[in-house]
Structure formats: structure tokens, C-alpha cells
Amino acid sequence: MDQRFFESFESNQTNQRSVTFPIDAIFMPIKQVNFSIQEHSIDGEYIYFEIWTNGSIHPFDAMKSAAKVCMKLMTSCLTRLTDERIYADELKLPETPNFVEVNYKKIESDTDLNEVLIEQLELSLRAYNCLKRANILTLADLSKQSFRDLMKLRNFGQKSADEVRGALNTYGIELKED
């Protein structure tokens, strides 16, 4: 199937006399398209398309044509990106790291621990709510808890405990020993 792009009525006209009736390119055979993405496995997803046409084209052919147009567009983008990388290599531009390493300051005194609220730990909503319900509001309160104490909290599981441990490690704090 040929790739078709927009052409106005005037550009479609020819000087020849013919029996055909030229129409504007706004005439579109595709009526509607829906899609949904469904998880298939741990590392994969499926995308499902629903394509409605006016009958002048089969939905499979429409999808095939659209995929070809997308591939053509993406190929030109990929070519440009590759060309820019080659150009950057020629200039020997310094590379910047994707991630900036941040070293957190360790908190030494209990007064500092009382000032850091658990909101600042950026915990998940479940872990935060469990701690708040247990009246654990600061790092000082949290550092007094043991792993076993945390696991006794309602709706507080292994994942939340690991998350809290990781957040405490950024401040150089460990949970109290059992």
C-alpha cells in the first residue's frame, strides 16, 4: 500500500479530462482508533489496537501503513541522534554523568534527630501512615524502634521495613538492636 499524506483538492486536480471525481484528501478511511496496554508478564506488555474504518481499507492494512510511517519518522530521528553523537565525539565534549552522587551528612546528636520529621524520609504512603499511627513522628522516635517492633505495627511488612532501613541509612542511622 502506498503511503498517503495530506494533499489538497487543488493539488489533486490534473489538466486531463477524466471520468474520475476528485475529492479532498480530508476524506479519511479511519473512523476511530482505541488502544489499551495490558501487562503480559514480569518484563512485557501487550498493546491492543481497535481500529474502525469506513470499509474502504482493512484495519490490518491501516495498521501496517501507520507502522511504516512511524518507522520512517523514527528512523530519521535515530539518524540525527547518531550524527549528533559522532559530532560530539569529534569535538570531544566532556561527558556529564547521568546521576549525581549525593553524600548525606550524618546526624550526630539527639537534638538533630528530633528536628528531622519522618515526612522528610520520602517513604511510601503505607510506611508513612503506619509510622504516624504508631506515633513515630521524628528520626529520634524511629531510631528507638527495633526491626521487630516495626514488624509488629499494623499493615507494616517486610517491604516497608526495608524502605525504612534504606531511608535511615542515608542519614547514617541504624535501627535499634533487638
In-domain check, residue 116: yes
Residue 66 pLDDT class (50, 70, 90 cuts): confident
Residue-wise pLDDT for 74-105, tens only, equals: 887 777 776 666 655 555 545 555 555 545 54
Domain count, the chain: 2
10 Å CB burial of residue 63 (0-12, 13-18, 19+) is middle
Residue 65 shares a structural domain with residue 13: yes
11, 26 contact by CB (below 8 A) = no
Using alpha carbons only, what angle is made at residue 15 by residues 11 and 20, rounded to the nearest 5 degrees?
80
In-domain check, residue 105: no
Query: Domain boundary residue among 59, 91, 123?
Result: 91
Residue-number span of the structural domain to which 86 is assigned: 9-91
Residue 50 pLDDT class (50, 70, 90 cuts): very high
Q: Which residue has the cell 542515608?
A: 170
Q: Indicate whether this model's pTM tops 0.85.
A: no
Is the pLDDT reported for residue 130 higher than 70? Answer: yes
63, 44 contact by CB (below 8 A) = no
Residue 171 pLDDT class (50, 70, 90 cuts): confident
**What is the enclosing helix (H) or strand (E) of 123?**
none
